[in-house]
Amino acid sequence: MPTLSIFGAQWGDEGKGKIIDLLAREADLVVRYQGGPNAGHTVVVGGEKFILRLIPSGILHVGKVNVIGNGVAIDPVALFGEIGELIARGVNVDPRCLRISAGAHVIFEHHRRIDALAERWRGAGRIGTTGRGIGPCYADKAARTGLRVADLVEPARLRTRLTAVLVEKNALIESVHKEAPFDIERTLAQVGEVAVRLAPFVADTGAEVRAAYKQGKSILFEGAQGAMLDIDHGTYPYVTSSNTGMAGIGTGAGFPPNKVERVLGIAKAYCTRVGEGPFPSEDKGKDGDTIREVGREFGSVTGRPRRCGWLDLVALRYALDLNGATGLILTNLDVLSVFPEIPVCVAYDVPGVRGAVSEYPAYLPALDDVRPRYERHAGWKTDISHVRRYADLPRAAREYVEWVEERIGVPIEMLSVGPERDAVIPRR
Ligand code: IMP
């Protein structure tokens, strides 16, 4: 391997969970470096479906070290819910196979509450967050009022810092949102309980990952969400609150990104998005509904129906370029089998700009009103979910893949044609 980064090259939900699980076989360490329980990485093993939110997908393989880096926003309640579910289904989760950074920020109940209140406050301008407290937690990190895992496991420090924070949050909740405040003593007691359970997993994960690299171990960096949801480079303000790709590895794993050798973007053969915000190639008509139905496009964390549309090469090239991708894995190709003709967005029409725009617009407000220009490809109209060799794909499917490959400038290294672990077609 030895160092590989997997990132979402669209708006999240590209099928990263399955691919990470597959490639985790060859890894010694699997490292999450950003996001939090807003992620929902779905992995199907032997017909059984697992949805991982905070724990890296390597947990489903025996003998891997799974790392939750300092850049992840950890909700300890969600974490122990997830650990409990995995253990109940026979998956081993102990401090040898799960390492949690002392520097990771903690999501508390007040973050989840403020997430919901802020969305209500935004009204029509709401982001459509997952409601998991992500934005408010990262906001406190930047404001330097957040608590980290290291603060949680030291009772005296926890009391002083959490009390100070809650006094301020209560003032906001009561005076701005006109809601009841948190009971500080009750909150401290609840958090203290979960902190005791967290303590054995806590480590200096950055040092451990760097040491593993020096020992020649294979490391897989598991991105959550997608490039178009990146706080700096995505469709701001309709984004999540972290750096979702390569840039997040330096800050969120404490590992130098220039030591990552392979960088694979994951994209669906079409596009989806959950929540609000620009989505130029969205299809609000019957084809969009068909994609949702055939692709089972409902949020794995929130159950929300996903907005669906066609592959957007302008946004995809931007995402791959931004992250220095060395290759792409194209997922859910089987879903397109129902269409006699497959549109692909190759350029935008941007108001006020003459001619077709094939580079992602630097002036982002323009995205609100762009119109997609499509090229249409012949479909293959036959089930491909059982195909495992590239040569066995119908010609029209191979032509579609090769046509996309030519336009994105990096090799398409693998195709995925179903949710099961083995439903993949390697290309090189
Ligand atoms: P937040 O991350 O909960 O604050 O949500 C911000 C935006 O990112 C919303 O549009 C969410 O729907 C979207 N989002 C967050 N996590 C994911 C994910 O894992 N997949 C897809 N969309 C996500």
In this structure, which topology does domain 105-198 adopt according to CATH? Adenylosuccinate Synthetase, subunit A; domain 2 (1.10.300)
* The ligand 1 atom nearest the CA atom of 277: 10
At 31-81, the pLDDT tens digits run: 999 999 999 888 888 888 899 999 999 999 999 999 999 999 999 999 999
Give the integer Cα–Cα distance in Å for 185 and 155. Answer: 13
Residue limits of CATH 3.40.440.10 in the chain: 3-103+201-259
* Mean pLDDT value across the chain: 95
Tell how far the Cα of 149 is from the centroid of ligand 1, in angstroms: 23
At 99-134, the pLDDT tens digits run: 999 999 999 999 999 999 999 999 999 999 999 999
* The ligand 1 atom nearest the CA atom of 35: 2
Higher pLDDT, 303 or 375: 375
* pLDDT for 369: 85
CB 212, CB 183: distance < 8 Å: no
CB atoms within 10 A of CB 371: 13
Higher pLDDT, 351 or 295: 295
pLDDT category at 351 given cuts 50, 70, 90 is confident
As beta bridge partners, residue 349 has 371
Full 3-state SS string of 242-289: CCCCHHHHHHHHCCCHHHCCEEEEEEECEEEECCCCCCCCECCCHHHH
Segment 247-255 shows an average pLDDT of 98
CB 134, CB 115: distance < 8 Å: yes
* pLDDT for 130: 94
What are the distances in angstroms from CA 198 to CA 60, 88, 127, 149, 362?
A: 20, 18, 32, 8, 43
Quote the tokens at residue 155. 């009772």
pLDDT of 258 above 90: yes
pLDDT category at 205 given cuts 50, 70, 90 is very high
Q: Residue 342: which of 307, 373, 311, 383 has the closest Cα?
A: 311
At 367-405, the pLDDT tens digits run: 778 999 999 999 999 999 999 999 999 999 999 999 999
Q: Residue 249: which of 21, 31, 20 has the closest Cα?
A: 31
φ/ψ of 311, rounded to 5, equals: -55, 135
Give the integer Cα–Cα distance in Å for 281 and 288. Answer: 10
Q: Is 240 in the pocket of ligand 1 (CB under 6 A)?
A: yes
> Residues near 11 by Cβ (< 8 Å), separated by ≥ 6?
225, 226, 228, 229, 271, 272, 273, 274, 279
Largest CA distance in the chain: 66
pLDDT of 146 above 90: yes
267-426: CATH architecture? Alpha-Beta Complex (3.90)
- Is pTM beyond 0.85? Reply is yes
Strand, helix or coil for residue 352: coil
CB-count burial class (<10 Å; 0-12, 13-18, 19+) for 245: buried
CB 62, CB 25: distance < 8 Å: no
| Atom 2 of ligand 1, residue of closest alpha carbon | 240
pLDDT of 228 above 80: yes
Segment 164-169 shows an average pLDDT of 95
pLDDT of 219 above 80: yes
Quote the tokens at residue 248. 């997040």
Q: Which of 160-169, 354-363, 409-418 has the lowest mean pLDDT?
A: 354-363
- Strand ranges for 103-235 from DSSP E: 105-106, 202-203, 219-222
Q: Residue 320: which of 7, 17, 4, 2 has the closest Cα?
A: 7
Tell how far the Cα of 138 is from the centroid of ligand 1, in angstroms: 14
**If one looks up domain 3-103+201-259 in CATH, what number appears?**
3.40.440.10
Length of the chain: 428
* pLDDT for 278: 93
Residue with tokens 């329980």: 37
* pLDDT for 167: 95
> Residues near 157 by Cβ (< 8 Å), separated by ≥ 6?
151
Residue 378: its H or E element: strand 371-378
Q: Which of 132-136, 182-186, 248-252 has the lowest mean pLDDT?
A: 182-186
Q: Residue 150: which of 206, 193, 195, 94 has the closest Cα?
A: 195
What are the distances in angstroms from CA 111 to CA 44, 72, 171, 224, 271?
A: 31, 15, 14, 20, 30
Q: Is 274 in the pocket of ligand 1 (CB under 6 A)?
A: yes
Give the integer Cα–Cα distance in Å for 55 and 36. Answer: 9
Give the integer Cα–Cα distance in Å for 385 and 377. Answer: 20
Q: Is 13 in the pocket of ligand 1 (CB under 6 A)?
A: yes
* pLDDT for 300: 78
pLDDT category at 151 given cuts 50, 70, 90 is very high
∠ CA 100-204-111, nearest 5°, is 45
> Cα torsion for 185, 190, 192, 198, to the nearest 10°?
-160
Tell how far the Cα of 135 is from the centroid of ligand 1, in angstroms: 10
Residue limits of CATH 3.90.170.10 in the chain: 267-426
* pLDDT for 1: 66
* pLDDT for 403: 97
pLDDT of 364 above 90: no
The active-site residue out of 21, 41, 111, 233 is 41
Tell how far the Cα of 239 is from the centroid of ligand 1, in angstroms: 7
Give the integer Cα–Cα distance in Å for 17 and 301. Answer: 13
Does residue 13 carry a catalytic annotation? yes
pLDDT of 202 above 80: yes
Residue limits of CATH 1.10.300.10 in the chain: 105-198
Q: Is 305 in the pocket of ligand 1 (CB under 6 A)?
A: no
What are the distances in angstroms from CA 71 to CA 111, 164, 312?
A: 17, 23, 29
